[in-house]
Amino acid sequence: MNDKIQLYSLATPNGQKVSIALEELGLDYDAHTIDIMQGDQFTNDFLKVNPNSKIPAIVDPTGADGDSLPIMESGAILLYLAEKTGKLLSKNTRLRSETLQWLFFQVGGVGPMFGQFGHFYRYAKDNCDHPYPVERYAKETKRLLTVLDKRLEGKNYLVGEEYSIADISIFPWVGCLDRFYEASDILELSTFKNVNAWFKRCSERPAAIKGAMICGFD
């Protein structure tokens, strides 16, 4: 029996979160690329893992009292892996709560807003030439970056001095603003000094470098 965690993903910001966490935690896993441009997420086999047809997803063969446990939603996966290993999530009540708050800040804010900005700014120009969507989501993206920048004032990481699933959930999204969306100028990314220093700190970790390449784009 293969006891390794099975990862189904693509190296998008959401996908990178889970592969980076797996590398950081030192867990054994097999990686399976789900090419969302080719519709792999809609196959019957993948729907058994994630009925919502989104990446990433995992299956832990021994995750539920020894039985196989499929898990969808990247935030839920990060929380599960942290609790499974006892790492990347403080046992201190206050720090644990703060970590989860910033994790959900990503799930409910950073991911959806950054993603909508990227969609309209980088990918939907041929379908929508009205300036409103880009202006709206650029404004909200900059607001969220400002929140992060203020939070990181005088801090190495988002919660205390310990790297956590909160950092892992957010920094790949910050990286995509330049790498995938090519939006450094319109978002004035250079002005967010604390965010930039934190992103460099997170993205240069060995596990982050390796994890970001898992299930990469051809």
Find the CATH number of the domain harbouring 150: 1.20.1050.10
With bands split at pLDDT 50, 70 and 90, how would you rate the model's confidence at 65?
confident
Question: Are 70 and 102 in a shared domain?
Answer: no
Tell whether 217 is covered by a domain.
no
Tell whether 9 is covered by a domain.
yes
Instruction: Give yes or no for residue 143 having a pLDDT over 80.
Output: yes
- 120 class by beta-carbon count within 10 Å (0-12 exposed, 13-18 middle, 19+ buried): buried
Question: Are 55 and 98 in a shared domain?
Answer: no
Domain count within the chain: 2
Mean pLDDT value across residues 44-49: 95
With bands split at pLDDT 50, 70 and 90, how would you rate the model's confidence at 1?
low
Residue 75 and residue 106 in contact, taking contact as beta carbons nearer than 8 Å: yes
Tell whether 84 is covered by a domain.
yes
Question: Are 186 and 99 in a shared domain?
Answer: yes
Q: Please give the distance of CA 83 from its chain centroid, rounded to a whole number.
A: 18
Question: Are 72 and 99 in a shared domain?
Answer: no
Tell whether 68 is covered by a domain.
yes
- The string of pLDDT tens digits covering residues 97-115 is 999 999 999 999 999 999 9
Tell whether 197 is covered by a domain.
yes
Tell whether 49 is covered by a domain.
yes
Q: Please give the distance of CA 102 from its chain centroid, rounded to a whole number.
A: 12
pTM of the model: 0.96
Which of 88, 121, 140 lies at the terminal end of a domain, its last residue? Answer: 88
Q: What is the DSSP string of 23-48?
A: HHHT--EEEEE--TTTTGGGSHHHHH
Residue 24 and residue 89 in contact, taking contact as beta carbons nearer than 8 Å: no
Mean pLDDT estimate for the chain: 96
- The string of pLDDT tens digits covering residues 10-21 is 999 999 999 999
Structural domain of 21: 5-88
Tell whether 210 is covered by a domain.
no
Predicted pLDDT of residue 12: 96
